[in-house]
Amino acid sequence: MTRTGYLILGWISLSLGVIGVFLPLMPTTVFMLIAAWAFSRSSERWHNWLLTHRRFGPLIRAWHEHHAMPRRAKRIALLTLAASYAFTASVFGPLSLAAIIGGLCVAGVALYIAHIPVLTREQELAQLANNAEG
């Protein structure tokens, strides 16, 4: 893939991640991680912007540095998945094809998130210190 291809992938992933903030069942974090990866191969400027972003930067850095996520982010992700499934099941019916497929997807993502380690207090403090320095 060329530098331009990675840049396009980064922008598409970033756009999908932002859309995911507002739409149920649309992931945000995975697209932000893909965007960070693609920008790291195409644009130092956009990669640094994403890593230092007020909202997304700490989560991306936690993943890159520790392969972990903050406890609060984990709770929010799991609650959002549950709310998304509840919404889908209430609109289409709990035994509809949409609810069944959505439920399987939600269950898979929830299991994956449940297995991600939680940042330790020491890792969080180190990350806060790094944020204060940078």
Chain-centroid distance of CA 127 in Å reads 18
Q: Could you tell me the residue range of the domain that residue 77 belongs to? A: 71-117
34 with 84, same domain: the answer is: no
What b/e string do you get for 45-74 counting C-beta neighbours within 10 Å, with b at 16 or more?
A: ebbeebbeeeebbbbbbbbeebebbbeebb
Same domain membership, residue 3 and residue 43: yes
Distances (CA, A) of 52 to 64, 83, 107, 131: 13, 29, 31, 8
Does one domain contain both 35 and 86?
A: no
**Tokens describing residue 128:** 């806060």
Counted domains in the chain = 2
Do 60 and 82 fall within a single domain? Answer: no
Task: List per-residue pLDDT tens for the chain, 134 residues long.
Answer: 799 999 999 999 999 989 988 876 677 878 888 999 999 999 999 999 999 998 888 888 888 888 888 888 888 888 888 988 999 999 999 999 999 999 998 999 899 889 989 988 777 767 666 666 65
**Are both 59 and 16 inside the same structural domain?**
yes
Same-domain check for residues 29 and 46: yes
**Does residue 76 sit in the same domain as residue 105?**
yes
What global pTM score does this model have?
Answer: 0.67
Same domain, 42 and 18: yes
Q: Are 65 and 120 in contact (CB under 8 A)?
A: no
The pLDDT of residue 128: 66
User: Are 57 and 106 within one domain?
Assistant: no
Q: Are 5 and 61 in the same domain?
A: yes
46 and 92 share one domain: no
> What beta strand segments (E) does 55-127 contain?
none
Tell me: do 113 and 90 sit in the same domain.
Answer: yes
